[in-house]
Structures are given as structure tokens and as C-alpha cells.
Amino acid sequence: MELLSLFITSFIVGFSGAMMPGPLLAVTVAETPRKGAGTGPIVTGGHAVAEIAVVALLSLGLAAVVNNTTVSSAIGIVGGTMLILMGLSMLYSLLRRRIQETETSLRPKKSARLVLDGIITSISNPYWFVWWATTGSAFLVKSLKFGVIGPAVFYVGHIFSDLVWYSFVSFLIWRGRKLVVGMGYRILMTACALFLLYLGGLFIYDGYTGAI
């Protein structure tokens, strides 16, 4: 029963975080009209790879390193730069008219590329590291009283919340895809690209000022 409680708690906490706008959501929204309703689960797969890596690292006692101000600032600057490059890539594709006006001409990214995008957008977000070094670490410490199974249950509950949310977002966008083709899709892509540029600039600024 306590393990079930741990699962439910990690799901609720993870779900509240998943619903917050961020680079992972921007990529999911931008790519769903091209890739389909499966975009959310695929991107979440990349996010899951990044998260299982950080859970393993924190479980090995590296939370103090991740929580170091210098390390956090470096992550913010490098991560922000990655997000800016991703946003510029989206805008470049639009300007070069690589994204066509009809739904049938839209070329979806390969699933492996979307998984990579999920990994990149996760590790590019310094606040993701900060969350895991603080709140995430606290949950992991509590889960360790159940032995190895504890962190595993916490991880599954946490990542399941991401899977549910991003699958829901992709489903809604895919159902309404006829509204986001042509000019609508170009506007959507531009908005997502600008959002990534904004986040990238914010992360770099916070990294330089030590606000992370």
C-alpha cells in the first residue's frame, strides 16, 4: 500500500510539472501536425531516457554536484544556447519554405529524431536539473526506504504523468489538425520557435546572473 501511495504521489507531482509550458511541450505541439497523435509518447520516450539517467545519478549521490551553483549556471548557458539553436532551426525551415502549405506535403521527423529532441529539450532545461536536485532528490531519499524498488516505483509514476499529459496534448492537436495546416501551421511553428528562443534567452540570462 505504501508503494502505491508513492506511485500516486509521484504521478500527481509529476503531472503538475508536466502541465507547465516548457521546451518539451513546444516540440510536441510543433511536431504533432506532421507526425501524428503518437508524437507525444515518442517525445516522452526521449524525456524518459534523460530522466532515468538523472535518477540513476542522483541515486548514486551526485545531487550535490548537480546542485552546485557553478554547474547549474553552466547548464543554463549551454542549455539555453541549445534551445536557441533549435528555435532558429525552426524559423530557418519556415523561411526556406521547407514546410509546405498542404498537410500531405508535410514531412514528419523520424521517430528516432523525435526521441533525440525529447532528450535534448530535457537536458537543455536547467530548471529540470534544479527540480531533480531539490524536490526530485527529496522524493528519491524517501523512496529508498523501500530498497531498489522504491526509486523504480517513483520513476514509473513520474514518467507516467508525462506520458499521459503529452499524449493528451498530441491527441487534441491531431484531432484538430485541419485547423493547423497551411498558414495555421506556419503560425503555430513560428510561435513555438519564438517560445524556444525566449526560453533559451531566459536560461542563458539566469545562468549568467546565477539566478538558477
| SS3 of residue 60 by DSSP | coil
- Residue 104 pLDDT level (bands cut at 50, 70, 90): very low
Segment 46-55 mean pLDDT: 91
Query: Hey, where are the domains in the chain?
Result: 2-209
Task: State the pLDDT at residue 44.
Answer: 95
pLDDT digits (tens, 9 = 90+) for 105-141: 456 778 888 999 999 999 888 778 777 877 777 777 7
Mean pLDDT of the chain: 81
Task: State the pLDDT at residue 42.
Answer: 96
pLDDT at 177 over 80: no
pLDDT at 74 over 90: no
pLDDT at 102 over 50: no
Instruction: Give the predicted TM-score (pTM) of the model.
Output: 0.75
pLDDT digits (tens, 9 = 90+) for 81-100: 888 988 898 788 777 765 45
Question: CA-to-CA distance for 152 and 48, rounded, in angstroms?
Answer: 12
Q: Which residue has the higher pLDDT, 199 or 114?
A: 114
Task: State the pLDDT at residue 60.
Answer: 74
Question: CA-to-CA distance for 83 and 78, rounded, in angstroms?
Answer: 9
Question: CA-to-CA distance for 52 and 55, rounded, in angstroms?
Answer: 5
Judging by beta carbons within 10 Å of its beta carbon (0-12, 13-18, 19+), is residue 156 exposed, middle or buried? middle
